[in-house]
């Protein structure tokens, strides 16, 4: 082993940095003036414990803002895949959405 440590050996290394994909930012949706009487979808993206977190959000709304209707829905797949059907349902039937993640 000592003979290999004398500096005569060459090794190859790889750079682990990589290149991130180009991201085109989108503006946030405008805020609602009030949540009174509105229907808010709580969207579970199937991220770690997000369903548990969103049930707690739903319970908070029930206790503190009973005039708000909440609908808890799960995305059809994992959070890394788009779910156009869920977004269309929310657009057609809801006033807003909270997409939750939790740990």
pLDDT recorded at residue 7: 64
What spatial distance separates the first Cα and last Cα of the chain, rounded to whole Å?
A: 46
Residue 65 domain-assigned? yes
The three-state secondary structure class of 50 is: helix
List the domain range (segments joined by +) for residue 96: 53-74+90-103
* Bridge partners, residue 40, by sequence: 70, 96
Weakest mean pLDDT among 58-62, 70-74, 78-82 = 78-82
The three-state secondary structure class of 92 is: helix
Mean pLDDT of the 15-33 span: 88
Residue 62 domain-assigned? yes
Residue 60 domain-assigned? yes
Domains in the chain, number:
1
Residue 20 domain-assigned? no
| Residue 6's pLDDT band (cuts 50, 70, 90) | low
Look up tokens 């060459």; give the residue.
Answer: 10
pLDDT at residue 79 tops 90: no
Mean pLDDT of the 38-48 span: 94
CA dist 90 and 26 (Å) reads 19
């Amino acid at each position: 082993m000592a003979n290999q440590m004398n500096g005569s050996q060459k090794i190859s290394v790889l750079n682990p940095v990589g290149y991130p994909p180009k991201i085109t930012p989108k503006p946030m949706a405008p805020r609602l003036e009030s949540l009174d009487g509105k229907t808010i979808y709580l969207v579970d993206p199937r991220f770690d414990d997000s369903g548990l977190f969103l049930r707690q959000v739903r319970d908070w709304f029930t206790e503190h803002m009973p005039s708000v209707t909440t609908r808890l829905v799960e995305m059809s797949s994992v959070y890394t895949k788009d779910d156009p059907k869920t977004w269309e349902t929310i657009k057609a039937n809801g006033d807003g959405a909270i997409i939750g993640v939790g740990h």
